[in-house]
């Protein structure tokens, strides 16, 4: 084999969380949960569903510096302000407090994470989020399938800042060249490439699976000794 193409084994995989391991669910479900919490009829608020669908995009425009992902206080302030543009209290607060409850694990997430752990590959979640991600992962039944969980609020950096990837690599004691970053956002997750981390971008999907089996193929390729 030409040395240029000799693979370096991947020892750890960093996963984004939202829209990579978990789907955000439907806005209908989110609205229904929020309305039930405060005794409102979700059918009276159907007109806000398109805006709920776009709330993350609205946040990116409102907060390009990701202040919402560095502190829970900023997160609540920014999202509550956005939600109040088309909802009134008590629905506004109910929507904020239930915004992660409609998240669902992709059907292929646990199988891939467990397969990686069986191979001795360190599995890590790295997310731009200010919510209590370990608690969310526990509720979704995914916490036991990863070795580490890191958030931007915890580390003080947001993707794509190279420092967040360097901080994670140092914490898990694996060199960046021996890691793989898996995410859905070419800008945020693609920032891993700046520090020498191989990166796999899986575009967002609307179905129950997310094509995560591709990760296993990348791992197998990195461990190959011949073609």
**DSSP string for 124-137:** EEEE---S-HHHHH
pTM over 0.85: yes
Pairing mode of beta strands 122-127, 198-201: unpaired
Q: Are the CB atoms for 174 and 11 separated by under 8 Å?
A: yes
β-bridge partners, 124:
14, 148
> Looking at the predicted structure, is the pLDDT value of residue 2 above 70?
no
């509550």: which residue's tokens? Answer: 80
Helix, strand, coil proportions of the chain in percent (round to 5)?
50, 10, 40
Q: Residue 207: what pLDDT? A: 80
Domains in the chain, please, with CATH? 3-23+104-223 (3.40.50.1000), 27-97 (no CATH)
Q: How many CB atoms lie within 10 A of CB 85?
A: 11
> Looking at the predicted structure, is the pLDDT value of residue 141 above 80?
yes
Q: Are the CB atoms for 185 and 164 separated by under 8 Å?
A: no
> Looking at the predicted structure, is the pLDDT value of residue 227 above 70?
no
Tell which residue, 128, 105, 125, 127, has the closest CA to residue 116. Answer: 125
Confidence class of residue 193 from pLDDT cuts 50, 70 and 90?
Answer: very high
**What digits encode the pLDDT tens for the residues 47-72?**
999 999 999 899 999 999 999 999 99
β-bridge partners, 38:
none
Confidence class of residue 223 from pLDDT cuts 50, 70 and 90?
Answer: confident
Confidence class of residue 206 from pLDDT cuts 50, 70 and 90?
Answer: confident
> Tokens in use for 197?
């981390």
């Amino acid at each position: 084999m030409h040395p240029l193409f000799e693979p370096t084994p991947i020892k750890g995989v960093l996963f984004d969380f939202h829209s990579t391991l978990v789907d955000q669910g439907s806005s209908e479900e989110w609205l229904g949960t929020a309305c039930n919490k405060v005794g409102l009829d979700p059918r009276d608020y159907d007109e806000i569903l398109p805006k709920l669908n776009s709330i993350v995009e609205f946040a990116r425009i409102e907060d390009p510096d990701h202040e919402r992902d560095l502190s829970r206080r900023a997160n609540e302030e920014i999202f509550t302000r956005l939600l109040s543009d088309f909802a009134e209290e008590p629905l506004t607060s109910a929507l904020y407090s239930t915004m992660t409850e409609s998240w669902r694990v992709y059907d292929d997430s646990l199988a891939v994470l467990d397969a990686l752990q069986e191979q001795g590959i360190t599995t890590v979640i790295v997310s731009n989020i200010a919510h209590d991600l370990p608690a969310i992962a526990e509720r979704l039944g995914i916490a036991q399938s990863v070795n580490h969980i890191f958030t931007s609020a915890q580390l003080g950096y947001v993707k794509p800042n190279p420092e967040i990837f360097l901080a994670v690599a140092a914490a898990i004691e694996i060199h960046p060249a021996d890691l793989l970053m898996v995410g859905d956002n070419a800008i945020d997750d693609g920032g891993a490439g700046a520090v020498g981390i191989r990166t796999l971008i899986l575009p967002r999907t609307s179905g129950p699976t997310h094509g995560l089996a591709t990760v296993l193929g990348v791992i197998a390729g990195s461990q190959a000794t011949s073609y």
